[in-house]
Amino acid sequence: MKTNKTIYLIGRIREKANQFILKELEQIGFVDIAPSHGDILATLFQHGECTMTNIANSIHRDRSTVTALVNKLIKLGYISSRKDPTDSRSTIISLTKKGEELEPNFKEISRKLFEVEYKNISETEKEVFESVLEKIYNNF
């Protein structure tokens, strides 16, 4: 079997997943959020509030990328920032009421995405697939 298309296919899967997410967001009236915001929102849904550094570490992105995404979410009113009173060099990010209201929709879109992703795929195939992807990731 030829395996020279794996990176290509992974990229196309990501593209299709992002299109799916955008379509789902649009259907519920959230046209201003991009899939790239998802990791930040998920981190805040899980932890409540985090420093910028903790978010960057959690989502495996560099701080400048996280700063740009966070600034966009602040501008849109989904999150807020404040200086850490115990460390003035640190910024704490938290969800606003508008951001908190996203969580049920976020979970539903994630459920639908997972359902589409693993349609007609057995539990054993899922485990093998994730294991192989983890190995590929670690190879880099």
Give the pLDDT confidence score for residue 127 in this predicted structure: 94
* CA distance linking residue 65 with residue 59, whole number of Å: 11
Give the pLDDT confidence score for residue 2 in this predicted structure: 64
CA 1 vs. chain centroid, Å, equals: 33
Q: At what angle do helices 52-59 and 38-47 cross, to 10 degrees?
A: 120
Domain boundaries of the chain, sorted by first residue: 6-139
pLDDT at 138 over 80: yes
* CA distance linking residue 25 with residue 91, whole number of Å: 28
Separation of first and last alpha carbons in the chain:
22
Give the pLDDT confidence score for residue 47 in this predicted structure: 92
Tell me if 70 sits within 8 A of 55, measured CB to CB. Answer: yes
pLDDT at 1 over 80: no
83-134 per-position pLDDT tens digit: 988 888 889 999 999 999 999 999 999 999 999 999 999 999 999 999 999 9
Give the pLDDT confidence score for residue 89 in this predicted structure: 86
Coil/strand/helix, residue 4: coil
3-57 per-position pLDDT tens digit: 688 889 999 999 999 999 999 999 988 888 888 899 999 999 999 899 999 999 9
Q: How confident is the model at residue 135 (pLDDT cuts 50, 70, 90)?
A: very high
* CA distance linking residue 79 with residue 75, whole number of Å: 8
Q: How confident is the model at residue 139 (pLDDT cuts 50, 70, 90)?
A: very high
Give the pLDDT confidence score for residue 86 in this predicted structure: 86
Q: What's the topology of domain 6-139? A: Arc Repressor Mutant, subunit A (1.10.10)
